Chains A and B, each alone.
Chain A
Amino acid sequence: MSTGCYIYGIVNADVEVLPQARGVGDPPVPVEVVSRGDVGALVSDVDVDETLGRPEDLLAHEKLLDAVVVDTPVLPLRFGALMTDRDAVVQKLLEPHQDEFADALSELAGRVQYAARARYFEQPLLAEILAENATAADLAGQLRGRGADESLDLRQQLGEIVSREVEARRQVDTEALIQALSPVTVASAVRPPTHEEDSAHVAFLIDTARETEFQDAVDDIGRRWEGRARIRLLGPMAPYDFVVTAS
């Protein structure tokens, strides 16, 4: 077995990982911190002959970082970062970028990320579109009662109109969500939709001191959208959407 050093994220050098924390790999091994100056990296050994990316690996990566961010700032690395050994992590990653990492960590101190995704309820959504778009309503009328194998063109036309209408609503609702939450968030990052009936998918960076306010605000929007769309809120999580690699 040849070993590599898997890297989860960058933390302050004084961070200690609980001995029971486990990382990627099969079986999972303990996670440790290697450090240089003020910054450290969360690492664990991994067998480079293995294939990484099992569900357990993905979950372990995020679970570790999401647990860490509750206590201390962390710069999450994208899944799959691997170096030859710990010396390489210290000398090639931490040392040359200590200041940059330390600055980013201090900027993220006391902050966590949440991800909100909202999805329309299909029936009310489509009913609304038919009520507001005469062309769609007309096409729907023409198609009523016809078999699935008939009138492919018409169905395609109708579907395309509906798709555009959904997209337009998604833009409006995404903006509305961001605006409504802006008083209680530090930053927002729009994520691509993961489903064609998503009404919004946005990551938010918030101060933990305002976490309850934020959650209340999301709940308010949930009430406003009740029956039309439903919000799913994930977090607190590490600030994946707010760390950007310098080019």
Chain B
Amino acid sequence: MTTAVQPAGGGGDVIDRPSGSSLADVVDTILDKGLVIDAYVRVSLVGIEVLTVDARIVVASVDTYLRFAEAVNRVDLAQTGGKGLPEVLEDTKGGGHGMAKGVAKGAATGAIEAAGDTVRRLFDHDDNRPQRSSQHVDRGEG
């Protein structure tokens, strides 16, 4: 029997086991979970500016729908072996992140990018995350 769970990069493993949390993971975890101190302490709290990350929840939206519709179109191409096949394969390689470019064409992109920028600044130090703008913030890790 092989070792069941290996760190990412071990090769041949069926799940990903990153050795540590990425910034995206940390945002998931510590910004809206854990004990909230002001419920315990109503005095002696110090006001400080804490950068917050908004729009982190996936909200089904027109943007999402159009993205899905476009993705479905690519499935058709793949199934019929049509002209676009090499492109489809290229998109599929990344494990489903091939839609990134499609999103940028969306009608409502302007405002969304503006909101996304704030968040992306936080992530600039994160390694190689896919660049995409969307209604939600993709904290994908590739």
Contact = CB atoms under 8 A, between A and B. Distances in A.
Contacts of A218: 4-5, 15
A10 interface: yes
Given A93-B41, A156-B62, A76 B35 contact: yes
A193 B58 CA distance: 6
A78 B33 contact: yes
A234 B34 contact: no
A125 B99 CA distance: 14
A76 B72 CA distance: 42
A212 B3 CA distance: 10
Given A4-B46, A122-B71, A77 B34 contact: yes
A7 B37 CA distance: 9
Contacts, number: 255
Interface string B71-101: 1111110110000000010001001101100
B70 to A, nearest CB: 7
Interface residues of A, number: 90
A121 B99 CA distance: 12
Given A55-B123, A223-B14, A232-B141, A237 B29 contact: yes
B54 interface: no
Contact of A76 (B16, B34, B74): B34
B83 to A, nearest CB: 11
Contact of A83 (B27, B46, B50): B46
A178 interface: no
A123 B21 contact: no
A140 B77 CA distance: 11
9 contacts: A52-B50, A58-B31, A78-B35, A126-B75, A148-B105, A158-B72, A192-B57, A222-B13, A247-B39
